[in-house]
């Protein structure tokens, strides 16, 4: 789907837009189901990159404590806990520029993935850039999906990251897809980009072949110490419009309402679910930032008559 068509969809009257996205949603998904995903930062902070939104970049004083790669046992304990709490997807994130075949830390991650895979949840990892050799090993170890966001439009990307390029992101995505892993790819809104930038991002996402299996939509969490610390919050109706447009452009993708839910009202989240969001991060921590408490989310889903998706 190309930009002019996306713009037309996005700009239609609000209720027409969410009605249409709801129709698309119900054609492809159960309307009452939301997938719960648990996120774990397996290696925190000290990252060489300068992503302006990120509390884990070593270039900014954000107060995030650097931590080494977690042990397999500690990660497995968290994964079991996630499954017991009802998550069907376990996502492990590392604050790395990327991974290299042959690096012992990469081997350690592969070993951990093999074990986590046995628990029966979808296994997602986000380790930064990689090429085909690493992608094939991750696939063989049992990774379901690799998360690598394009984050914003190609034009706006250099405003938020200078240590790697949009093309670098696309190259990693190419390797992920060539290796046969599903792609989890989305972005962040509220970094100072225009609404048109957001639609250009959706245009790139919808142009991937195959299309992403899931699309995380993050609202910037303005982290103290980062260059974006003063950014104002995103307007909730802009978020809902983007969720709806993403649902229409990518009918079969899970649309994950990701970072920034702590600042969204229950009503705002309800509109996002109506518009086509069908996955959330569950549990009180994202990577370094806060997420709503698990019982708050359970209550919200119950009040909206939504059920957590189950394994299989
Ligand atoms: N280092 C890897 C990478 O860059 O792909 C993986 C971890 S990185 C933290 C994963 C994603 O989290 C980013 O691409 C971005 O979309 C999201 N993210 C990071 N910090 C955020 C923030 N402050 N607010 C919203 N989303 C954020
Ligand atoms: C994604 O798109 N959002 C998640 C996951 N993929 C790795 C990460 C959100 C991070 C929020 C900021 C933090 O916790 O530091
Ligand atoms: Fe590093 Fe990823 Fe954060 Fe960028 S988003 S600074 S690559 S951890």
Is residue 291 in a domain? yes
Is residue 310 in a domain? no
Q: How far is the CA of 291 from the centre of ligand 2 (A)?
A: 10
Distance CA 293, CA 306 (A): 17
Q: How many domains does the chain have?
A: 1
How many angstroms separate the Cα of 243 from the Cα of each of 164, 216, 249?
27, 10, 10
If you take atom 13 of ligand 1, which residue's CA is the nearest one?
Answer: 149
Q: Are 257 and 286 in contact (CB under 8 A)?
A: no
Q: What is the pLDDT of residues 199-233, one digit of tens each?
A: 999 999 999 999 999 999 999 999 999 999 999 99
E runs forming strands in the chain: 33-43, 89-94, 122-126, 145-147, 182-184, 187-189, 214-219, 254-257, 279-281, 307-308
What is the rounded end-to-end Cα distance, in angstroms, of the chain? 31
Task: Evaluate: CB of 98 within 6 angstroms of ligand 1.
Answer: no
The atom number, within ligand 1, closest to the CA of 147 reads 5
Is residue 309 in a domain? no
Q: What is the pLDDT of residues 166-188, one digit of tens each?
A: 999 999 999 999 999 999 999 99
Structural domain range at position 196: 3-302
Catalytic residue among 37, 89, 124, 219: 124
Is residue 265 in a domain? yes
Of all residues in the chain, what percent are helix, strand and coil, respectively (each to 5)? 40, 20, 40
Alpha-helical segments (H) within 118-224: 132-141, 157-160, 166-178, 195-207
Q: b/e for 125-161, b at 16 or more Cβ within 10 A?
A: bbbbbbbeebbbbbbebebbbbbbbbbbbbebbeebb
Q: What is the pLDDT of residues 77-107, one digit of tens each?
A: 999 999 999 899 999 999 999 999 999 999 9
What CATH number is associated with residue 92?
3.20.20.70
For residue 290, what is the DSSP state? Answer: B
If you take atom 8 of ligand 3, which residue's CA is the nearest one?
Answer: 95
Is residue 307 in a domain? no
Q: How far is the CA of 227 from the centre of ligand 1 (A)?
A: 14
**Hey, which residues does 47 pair with through a beta bridge?**
57
């Amino acid at each position: 789907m190309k930009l002019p068509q996306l713009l037309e969809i996005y700009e239609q009257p609000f209720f027409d837009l969410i009605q249409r996205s709801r129709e698309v949603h119900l054609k492809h998904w159960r309307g009452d189901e939301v997938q719960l995903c648990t996120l774990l930062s397996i290696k925190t902070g000290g990252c060489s990159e300068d992503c302006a939104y990120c509390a884990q970049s070593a270039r900014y004083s954000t107060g995030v404590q650097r931590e080494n790669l977690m042990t397999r046992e500690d990660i497995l304990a968290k994964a079991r806990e996630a499954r017991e709490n009802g998550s069907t997807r376990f996502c492990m994130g590392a604050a790395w520029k990327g991974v290299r075949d042959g690096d012992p830390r990469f081997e350690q991650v592969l070993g951990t993935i093999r074990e986590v895979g046995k628990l029966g949840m979808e296994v997602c990892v986000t380790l930064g850039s990689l090429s085909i050799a690493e992608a094939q090993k991750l696939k063989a170890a049992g990774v379901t999906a690799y998360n690598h966001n394009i984050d914003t439009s190609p034009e706006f990307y250099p405003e938020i990251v200078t240590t790697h390029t949009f093309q670098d992101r696309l190259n990693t995505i190419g390797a992920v897809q060539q290796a046969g892993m599903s792609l989890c790819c989305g972005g962040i809104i509220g970094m100072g980009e225009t609404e048109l930038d957001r639609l250009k991002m959706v245009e790139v996402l919808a142009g991937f072949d195959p299309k992403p299996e899931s699309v995380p939509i993050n609202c910037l969490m303005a982290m103290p110490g980062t260059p974006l610390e003063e950014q104002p919050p995103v307007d909730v109706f802009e978020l809902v419009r983007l969720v709806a447009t993403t649902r229409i452009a990518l009918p079969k993708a899970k649309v994950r309402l990701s970072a920034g839910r702590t600042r969204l009202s229950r009503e705002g989240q309800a509109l996002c679910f109506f518009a086509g969001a069908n996955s959330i991060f569950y549990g009180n921590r994202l990577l370094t930032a806060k997420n709503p408490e698990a019982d708050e989310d359970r209550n919200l889903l119950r009040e909206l008559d939504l059920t957590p998706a189950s394994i299989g």
